[in-house]
Amino acid sequence: MLVNNAGIAVPDGDGRPSTVEIGTIQRTVEVGTLQRTLDVNVYGALRVTQVFLPLLRRADAGRIVNVSSTLGSLGALTSPGNPFAEIPAFAYTSSKTLLNALTGWLAVELASTSIKVNSVCPGHNATDMNGGVGAQHPAEGARVVVRAATLDADGPTGTFFDVNGTVPW
């Protein structure tokens, strides 16, 4: 199994789409918040997945779990009264949306194999990334990750879920 759990949120320079720091392509200038976030949260997961795929293809029951966030759900973002829409963190949230797209694409590509690919939201955990102010201990959040990593052969693939069930894409 592969659990893509590396992730960052860069508060300096993040914001709404109209103000997020995009960065520059020049080598001599520091990359912007959006690029730094995508480098870890999306490109990192894709690179690690590509490296591990040969091993997963040889497994009897390969599993890829992408640790995402409900903040990356377009369905949640656009639903009326959504409190997440007030969080000015376009770089972080869009990186999780793109991670969810990677999940869907991989599930389609690997549909004829025994590999299952899913995104999960572990909830708002108290970690170093948020200064320890999350609503739950990381061990609680790990439960949904373990569930996705240990799905049986009849389990879902190409889905996004949390401890309460399906999360809209």
Cite the DSSP H helix spans in the chain. Answer: 33-38, 45-58, 74-78, 90-109, 138-149
Greatest CA span in the chain, whole angstroms? 51
The angle formed by the CA atoms of residues 95, 98 and 99, to the nearest 5 degrees, is 85
Q: From its phi and psi, is residue 76 left (phi > 0), alpha (psi between -120 and 50) or beta? A: alpha
Residues belonging to the active site: 92, 96
Alpha-carbon distance of 39 to 33, in angstroms, equals 10
Q: Which letter, b or e, does each residue of 22-45 get, where b requires 16 or more Cβ atoms within 10 Å of its Cβ? A: ebeeeeeeebbbbbbbbeebbebb
Alpha-carbon distance of 35 to 21, in angstroms, equals 9
